[in-house]
Structure 1
């Protein structure tokens, strides 16, 4: 084996090994349709201080809800508009649906009032909020104001030393601290009877900003994990049966070269699944469809290469030259077919939402992994096989045909 082939072999083995380790050590992120979760429909409610709920208001509300959902750390959430005044939120695999709904739907108007009841600062004056602990080790929220807010806060704490400054969230008192000394740096801490989870959700709300319009929960639908489990089981069975039939066909029709193509296809599946786990891509039912589609295109590419090699052998070319011509002649066709699918997958990812984007991601990863195994791995394995025994390779590739030397 030449040094070039040796390095290529080591590189491919390293890629497959890394993908295999990721696949064995990290769990798959599953979408709502596979692991269950909550489907929520939020509807904007006009209020006297807001007036008409226009498109701009809803776009702001959508952006804030999306930031809040992302702050919850939920895998592959879906946040999208429905009609003029509704927002759809899908939350896969959450443990506490009601608390999540309250977090994403609350108006979250934070107010710092003077002892006389005047609102001096609001959440709009905040720069950041983070989870912290009070002097007794209890969960609290550390906040830092913007420069203008810091000035207001310094004036407030200087003017009312020794007095109570109520802190309200959506009109409800959450903390009533007593000002001991002026605070000129614009940093403070909100203390209350919080659990860690409540404090974390408050941080999410404050960092995302206040909703421009109140949102009410118009619909809540729970997708049970049983349906997702059945979908996974059925998809796995279908995938295993389909892959086994494809592997068997390639082996029976193309014999040992078909077995080499099967080996490359198995490596492709490991690389694809490992890449999905490593990139934390979320697997959905449409994503499984994308995986199956890209696998089919990988098989199609290998069949195209082997048939081109057979054509070259029938023309009387030597087996090594036939292999080179087979890959060279099919490369453009493979690239054209895969690039057009990649363009379609990019469009699905850019314009789609939720599971449609998952389909686009899976299809893109599948196409890239498929081209790698077809162009690099299959060619390397066939080359090694032909170099070891060109006569047998010729007989296997074209029974009874010519081309018995390199």
Structure 2
């Protein structure tokens, strides 16, 4: 009967204490918690906050409350289309050079198609059949793979009189390329901004080819533009040592070979095969390490990349291969033997800092296309302060109204409910501070909704206790029965709401996720305070005063 074991008492008090500790920094100015240098507040804790176990972070405010950088990037889809056409022309050239060789002029990109001119009319059918293998089902369409009517990536037309075969990218393939490019751009942007430690950025698709980026607390949009626009595209190419290159980087190159600059002053240019052995998309991990006392970047390929890299190195032992980052050769080691493990190192005269920066960029991945900032502005915090005041006022008014109602309706039990409500809000602030989640204006609405839900749970409990008392049960029995029988209804209501909050968090973005975060945290703290904490306070009161009537 209203018994709490020692471990339950310890758990309840520990949770409340942790909530208070993590919420206290919200009441202390930032310059009291962090070191101030040159009138700028640094991230270095000061005083008592410098102790490792003492929380020093306050709630992060979202863009609508704190201000920050607002940018819109446009994805250069024409660039992706041009790259795909160039690759298609190269693939056509390679396919036609396979034995038996079909003599054609080098496939070239003309407008929005690849043109293949066959030397002899009798080779038209063979060239046509050979090129058909370049088309694949769009998105690995299962229907197309089974010989159905699924869309293909390449469409073919032929002009037998002119001995010309034209290859074009189908509209379905272009749509898939557009969707994939924008989606990949969003993920790369998200990983790069997350690496900086910036809090809760909003990154979402806007229209067909634009990406919205909002970063709370960032006053310099140009910094975000420079971070996002770093291409970080890595490819691996075989070096062609037969090409003679003059001091200006010019030289006669055979088909499929191009000259690239290097970061080695003693060898400023190298000729490499245009077709990459392995693409950086196959990289699964990169990390900065040391070899023979020198900083290097260690990399690891996925299964497909490891297979391609192993095959290329096995067939070209003794040759050099170039590691190209953003069209610049950063290293060109010699293949001393087959590299079959799918891993290797990049040497390039790095410092430890530059090696770490390169590893971060490689892990974040390369942008599939360049991004053009079409809109950039700094959202000031002036409006945010007005909204903070309005939101705070709404929370206070709602809080007071609920407290007055509970006190008037349930007397001493209303006091317990109000104390639990105060602890509930404290726990929410502590959880937001500890998790470093952003509080947005919809998040404040989530806190207000949580207050109502927490009181609703207490109302269910107290009404059940009232019914049991009217049915003639003793005060202790009525309290125990009221709490135990109301629990199932409380859990049902809160679990369904928590599921809705989880869906909003997974599928929503920006303010919607802010609302979902505070609502989800509030549901957990409400169940704890409305059931466990209030029951604990009622048990202490009952044992201290042993009332004969509950006063309902």
When normalised by structure 1's length, the TM-score is 0.79
Distance 1:299-1:36 versus aligned 2 partners, 3 A rule: same
Distance 1:125-1:259 versus aligned 2 partners, 3 A rule: closer
Deviation of 1:135 after TM superposition, in Å, equals: 9.8
- Counterpart of 2:410? 254
**Matched residue SS, 1:94:** coil
Structure of greater relative contact order (alpha carbons < 8 Å, 6+ residues apart): 1
Distance 1:83-1:37 versus aligned 2 partners, 3 A rule: same
- Counterpart of 1:32? 63
Distance 1:169-1:375 versus aligned 2 partners, 3 A rule: same
Deviation of 1:132 after TM superposition, in Å, equals: 6.1
CA distance in 1: counterparts of 2:314 and 2:67, whole angstroms: 48
Q: 1:89-123: CA deviations, max 9, x gaps?
A: 22233365323323334443335563224345553
Matched, 1:238 2:272: no
CA distance in 2: counterparts of 1:135 and 1:36, whole angstroms: 48
The structure with more helix, counted as a fraction of residues: 1
Deviation of 1:323 after TM superposition, in Å, equals: 1.8
Deviation of 1:298 after TM superposition, in Å, equals: 0.5
Indicate if the aligned counterparts of 2:2 and 2:476 stay in contact, CA closer than 8 A. no
CA distance in 2: counterparts of 1:140 and 1:38, whole angstroms: 35
**Matched residue SS, 2:373:** strand
Deviation of 1:293 after TM superposition, in Å, equals: 0.5
Matched, 1:375 2:496: no
Q: How does 1:187-202 map to 2 (within 5 A)?
A: 187-191=345-349, 196=353, 202=358
Matched, 1:357 2:513: yes
Distance 1:112-1:331 versus aligned 2 partners, 3 A rule: closer
CA distance in 1: counterparts of 2:388 and 2:352, whole angstroms: 36
Pick aligned residue for 2:375 from 214, 219, 234: 219
Comparing 296-305 with 205-214, greater Cα deviation is found at: 205-214
- Counterpart of 2:183? 62
Q: 1:294-330: CA deviations, max 9, x gaps?
A: 1111112213322333344344432223223433453
- Counterpart of 1:404? none
CA distance in 1: counterparts of 2:514 and 2:420, whole angstroms: 25
**Matched residue SS, 2:203:** strand
Distance 1:116-1:156 versus aligned 2 partners, 3 A rule: farther
Comparing 143-152 with 83-92, greater Cα deviation is found at: 143-152
Comparing 374-383 with 19-28, greater Cα deviation is found at: 19-28
Indicate if the aligned counterparts of 1:134 and 1:191 stay in contact, CA closer than 8 A. no
Aligned residues: 387
Distance 1:307-1:188 versus aligned 2 partners, 3 A rule: same
- Counterpart of 1:75? 199
Gaps of at least 5 residues in structure 1 are 399-406
Indicate if the aligned counterparts of 2:2 and 2:539 stay in contact, CA closer than 8 A. no
**Matched residue SS, 1:27:** coil
Gaps of at least 5 residues in structure 2 are 25-54, 86-170, 240-269
CA distance in 1: counterparts of 2:549 and 2:429, whole angstroms: 32
Indicate if the aligned counterparts of 2:4 and 2:536 stay in contact, CA closer than 8 A. no
**Matched residue SS, 2:347:** strand
**Matched residue SS, 2:525:** helix
Distance 1:293-1:344 versus aligned 2 partners, 3 A rule: same
CA distance in 2: counterparts of 1:125 and 1:315, whole angstroms: 71
Deviation of 1:133 after TM superposition, in Å, equals: 8.2
CA distance in 1: counterparts of 2:199 and 2:315, whole angstroms: 43
Deviation of 1:223 after TM superposition, in Å, equals: 1.9
CA distance in 2: counterparts of 1:155 and 1:54, whole angstroms: 37
CA distance in 2: counterparts of 1:21 and 1:124, whole angstroms: 45
- Counterpart of 2:434? 278
The RMSD of aligned alpha carbons is 3.6
Indicate if the aligned counterparts of 1:38 and 1:90 stay in contact, CA closer than 8 A. yes
CA distance in 2: counterparts of 1:224 and 1:157, whole angstroms: 59
Indicate if the aligned counterparts of 1:65 and 1:104 stay in contact, CA closer than 8 A. no
- Counterpart of 2:280? 123
Pick aligned residue for 2:83 from 40, 49, 58: 49
Q: 1:35-82: CA deviations, max 9, x gaps?
A: 322222222221322367423443344234324422432322222222
**Matched residue SS, 1:84:** coil
Matched, 1:21 2:21: yes
CA distance in 1: counterparts of 2:379 and 2:468, whole angstroms: 55
Indicate if the aligned counterparts of 1:287 and 1:362 stay in contact, CA closer than 8 A. yes
CA distance in 2: counterparts of 1:81 and 1:110, whole angstroms: 25
When normalised by structure 2's length, the TM-score is 0.60
Pick aligned residue for 1:308 from 464, 467, 490: 464
Distance 1:231-1:202 versus aligned 2 partners, 3 A rule: farther
CA distance in 2: counterparts of 1:58 and 1:202, whole angstroms: 28
Indicate if the aligned counterparts of 2:71 and 2:221 stay in contact, CA closer than 8 A. no
Distance 1:56-1:167 versus aligned 2 partners, 3 A rule: closer
- Counterpart of 2:8? 8
Deviation of 1:180 after TM superposition, in Å, equals: 9.2
Distance 1:27-1:351 versus aligned 2 partners, 3 A rule: same
Distance 1:127-1:183 versus aligned 2 partners, 3 A rule: farther
